[in-house]
A and B are shown apart, each in its own frame.
Chain A
C-alpha cells in the first residue's frame, strides 16, 4: 500500500512561499483504483510527483509498501510508474520499439522478459504497425499512447495516472480505461487524476477530493454525491393537465422547498421539473395524478460526481474564477 500522512509541499522562491499540498493523508491500496480529484491548482499533480519520487515533500511521510522513497528510492522506483497526459516522456528520434526497449533497460527488466513485453505493450496501445517508426513522426495521440506503454514497461505494482487520457481519441481512451480496470483487478494499485469525471466515476472505488492542497472529503463516488447534497432533477410530462395540476406541482414544490419549473410542450402537454436532494419522483407523480393529470413521461436525473465536486469546492470557497 502507498500511505501518506500529513503530506506537505511548499515551493519556495526568493519572493514567496507557495503551499501546494497542505497535510494530505492518503491510502492507495493494491487492487483498487483510487481517485484524486480537485480543481486546477488543488495539488493533485504535486501529490502524484511526490509519490513518484520526483519531488521531495516539505513535511509528512510517504511509505510505499513500507519503504521510504527518500531512503529506498531505487526499490520504490521499481514498484511504481507514472503516466502523465500532458508530458511527452519519450524520445522523439527513437522508434516506439526502441523507446520501450531503452526504458525497459533503465528498469532492469531482463532481456528475455522485455522482448515479449515490448511487443505486448505496443499491441495494447495500438502501435504495433508503427512500432518501427520514429516518434517524431507520430501524432500527438500516438505519442501519448507510447507514453502509456512506457508507464507499464516495468509492470508496476502501483501506477500513478495524471490525466492519462488527455488528448486521446475516444476509442483509445476507452481501451485505456479497460486496461486500468484490468490492472486493478489483477492487483495493481492505481491512483488516478482526471478532469473527465465520468472516467473517475467509472473506474474509481474510492475518491479523495482536495482543494488548495487540503483534504476536503473522501469516499466512493456514490457516497460523495450523497454527501455533497446534490439535487436530483425530476421531470414529468403531463397530458390533459388543467390549472389544478400546475397548482398541485407548485404546492408540492413549496412544501418541499424545491425549485419548480413549469412549461408547455409544443403539443400542449405540461412539462414540470423539480430539483431536490431527496426522493421526490413518487410524491410528484402522486400529486399530478391526484390533480387529474395523466403522466405521459417521467425522467429522473441523478446528480453526477461533477455536481458533487463543484458543490464541495463551492462549499470550501475554493472555486477559481
Chain B
C-alpha cells in the first residue's frame, strides 16, 4: 500500500519529472533568459524615472496607486507578471508539450487525473519562479525600489491568491491550446490581454471603464489588487478582492477541468 494517496503521488511524481527534465534541458539558460524580462522592465523604469521624471512621480500617480515609489510599483508589477506568465507557460502548456513530444496518448491512457498532474507542474513552476522573483527583487532593491514591508503571512496570502488565479487561467488555457493545436498565438494573446487589463505595470484607473469591467472577468485583476495592497500600498490584504480572486480562480479551474476531457479527445481525433 502506497504511503501517499494516489493524487499526491501523481502530483509529486510530475513535480520531480518536470524538475529533472527542465534541469537537463535548460541548465542555466532558461533561468537567466526568463530573468532578463523582469530585470529589463525594472531597469527601464529606473532610467525612465530618472530621465523623464527627474526621479519624482506626479501627484496623480500617487493618488491612483497609493504609493510614491514608482520603481517599487513597477518591481511588484514585473515580478507578478513574471509569476503569471511563467505559471501559464508551465501549467497551461503542459498538455500541448506532451502532444508535441508524442507522450499525450500515454498520459491519457493512465488512470491519473488531470488536476494532480497539473498541480505537479504548478508546484514546479511556482518553485522555479520564486527563485527568479527573488533575484529580480534583489536587483530592484539595489536600484532603489522599496516595496511595502508586510508580514510574512500577508505576503504568503497574497502570493497564494495570485497562484490560485494563475492556476485557474492556466487550466482553461491548457484546454484551449490542445483544442487549437497551437500555443504561441494563444499564450501571447492572453499575455497581452492581462498586461493591459490586470494592472501589472500601470494603474487600472487609467483604462477606459469598459476595459476596467472587462478586466474584472480575469482572475489576475483582483489578485493584483491583493498584491498591490500588500506589496505596494502596505494596506494589507483586501478581503473582498482576495475572495473575488480566489473564487474566480477556482471557477476557472473547475471550468477548465470540465473542458479538458473534451479538449483531449478533440486533440486525439485531430491527430488520428
A residues contacting B by CB (< 8 A) are 11, 20, 45-46, 49, 52-56, 73-75, 77-78, 80-82, 84, 87-94, 98, 101-103, 105-108, 110-111, 134, 150, 154
- Does any Cβ of A come within 8 Å of B45's Cβ? no
A91 touches B103 (CB 8 A): yes
- 6 closest cross-chain pairs (CB), A and B: A105-B13, A106-B110, A89-B106, A77-B111, A106-B112, A88-B102
Task: Jot down 23 A-B pairs with beta carbons below 8 A, ordered by A.
Answer: A45-B272, A46-B272, A49-B268, A49-B272, A53-B108, A53-B109, A55-B268, A75-B111, A77-B109, A80-B109, A89-B102, A90-B106, A91-B21, A93-B25, A98-B20, A101-B13, A103-B106, A105-B9, A105-B112, A106-B107, A106-B117, A108-B9, A111-B3
Contact assessment for A54 and B102 in the assembled complex, using a CB-CB cutoff below 8 Å: no
Q: Is B101 an interface residue, CB under 8 A from the partner?
A: yes
B interface with A by C-beta (< 8 Å): 1-3, 6, 9-10, 12-14, 17, 20-21, 24-25, 101-103, 105-113, 117, 265, 268-269, 272
Using A77-B110, A77-B111, A98-B17 as known contacts, say yes or no to A106 and B103 having CB atoms under 8 A apart. Answer: no
Q: Evaluate contact between A11 and B17: CB separation under 8 angstroms.
A: no
A94 with B10: in contact, given A77-B111, A82-B109, A87-B102 (CB under 8 Å)?
Answer: no
- Whether A56 lies near B109 (C-beta < 8 A) is no
Other than the given A105-B13, A107-B110, A110-B2, 14 more pairs (CB < 8 A) read A49-B272, A54-B109, A55-B265, A55-B269, A73-B111, A87-B105, A91-B101, A93-B20, A94-B20, A106-B13, A106-B112, A106-B117, A108-B6, A110-B1
Residues of A within 8 A of B117 (CB): 106
Give the CA-CA distance A81 to B109 in the complex, in Å: 7
Nearest-neighbour CB distance to chain B for A191, whole angstroms, equals 14
Q: Which residue of A lies closest to B267 (CB)?
A: A54
Select A74's contact among B1, B103, B111, beta carbons within 8 Å. B111
> Distance in Å from the Cβ of A192 to the closest Cβ of chain B?
17
In the complex, chain B residues whose CB is within 8 Å of the CB of A87: 102, 105
Whether the Cβ atoms of A11 and B269 lie closer than 8 Å is: yes
Contacting pair B101 A106 (CB below 8 A): no
Smallest CB separation, B102 vs chain A (Å): 4
Contacts of A154 in B (CB 8 A): 110
For residue B112, which residues in chain A have a CB less than 8 angstroms away from its CB? 105-108
B272 and A11 contact, CB distance less than 8 A: yes
Q: Which residues of B contact A55 (CB under 8 A)?
A: 265, 268-269, 272
Bound Cα distance from A297 to B6, whole angstroms: 67
Give the complex CA separation of A89 and B12 in angstroms.
Answer: 21
- Smallest Cβ-Cβ distance to A74: which chain B residue: B111
Contacting pair B105 A54 (CB below 8 A): yes
Q: Known contacts A89-B105, A93-B24, A94-B21; is A107 also within 8 Å of B265 by CB?
A: no
Measured CA separation A90–B104 after assembly (Å): 9
List chain A residues, Cβ under 8 A from B9: 105, 108
CB distance from A114 to the nearest CB of B (A): 9
Please give, as numbers and ranges, the residues of chain B lying within 8 Å of A106 by CB-CB distance: 10, 13, 107, 110-112, 117
Contact A111 B2 (CB under 8 A): yes
| Cβ contact within 8 Å between A52 and B109 | yes
* C-alpha spacing A317/B136, complex, angstroms: 69
The reply to whether B17 and A91 form a contact with Cβ atoms under 8 Å apart is yes
Contact B103 A94 (CB under 8 A): no
CA A303 to CA B106, docked complex, whole Å: 38
Chain B residues with CB under 8 A of A92: 101
Establish whether residues B17 and A94, one from each chain, have CB atoms under 8 Å apart when the complex forms: yes
**Cβ-closest chain A residue relative to B98:** A91
Give the distance in Å from the alpha carbon of A54 to the alpha carbon of B113 in the complex.
Answer: 14
**A89 and B103 in contact (CB under 8 A), knowing A55-B269, A94-B21?**
yes
Cβ contacts under 8 Å, B103 to chain A:
88-91
**Chain B contacts of A111 at CB under 8 A?**
2-3
Bound form: Cα–Cα A154–B112 in Å: 12
**Residues on A with beta carbons closer than 8 Å to the beta carbon of B106:** 89-90, 103, 150
* Chain A residues closer than 8 Å to B24, beta-carbon distance: 93, 134
Set B10, B108, B268, B269: member contacting A105, Cβ < 8 A: B10
Residues of B within 8 A of A103 (CB): 106, 110
The residue on A at minimum CB distance from B112 is A106
Chain B neighbourhood of A101, CB < 8 A: 13
Interface centre among A82, A87, A106, A107 (most CB of B within 10 A): A106
- With A78-B111, A93-B24: A54-B17 Cβ-Cβ less than 8 Å: no
